[in-house]
Amino acid sequence: MLDALAHALAPNTPIARGRGEAAIVEDERRLDALLGEGRAAERVRLWTNNRCLVTTRRFACMESFAEAAAASGARGWPVFVRASGGTTVVHRPGILNFSVHDVGPADAIDITSRFERFTRRLIAGFAAVGVAAETGSVAGSYCDGRFNIVSGGQKIAGTACLVRKRGGWLGVLAHAAISIDGDPHADLAAITEFERALGLDIAYAPACHTTLAAQIRIAP
């Protein structure tokens, strides 16, 4: 399933096997490198990662962050920080990360349009493997947003965006973490324990999440 979806999203693009924090910051490095070329260009990246939680700089600035991250790491979920927005997400084998790095003239790029094009590409990829999907918010899901990829009313992928400008060029990193298989309940438990240790009053619902494997099983 992972290979089939990867081929539908980006044919002939190998899936990189990441190792924790280095795999996460690689997205930023590639965006900066593409901006440095000073020309319009697009690159794609498919990758998986070791088991970890990936949170935001906003949470990393909280007073309780170091203690909460250490406790999560002791439970087998090390915590790393990304530059894009949102809240905490899960990386692990069984989650496919899809990143598109897009650079163009700053006065010619509409960020929302580029991100919508990215989500349409995701939806087309799901359709190619027999799963109907759309964008939308799913109340009760972790890292919820209006550009979630949703199948059967459940969140199957989360998306995020990072924008950087250099000179007259604008770079857009669009990223999706796609649940291929595995246990969303365990994912939610890890996120919930970490975010509550930060002092956040959160309550996520396992029924709000699904995987590609589950949706393929119930597809007509």
Please give the pLDDT value at position 87.
93
Q: Which domain holds residue 116?
A: 2-218
Please give the pLDDT value at position 159.
96
Please give the pLDDT value at position 2.
87
Helix, strand, coil % over all residues of the chain, rounded to 5 = 35, 30, 35
Instruction: Indicate which CATH number applies to the domain containing 194.
Output: 3.30.930.10
Nearest in space to 94 (alpha carbons), one of 50, 46, 56:
50
Number of domains in the chain: 1
Element (H, E) at 113: helix 111-128
Question: What parts of the chain have a pLDDT lower than 70?
Answer: 218-220
Please give the pLDDT value at position 220.
58
Please give the pLDDT value at position 109.
83
Please give the pLDDT value at position 194.
97
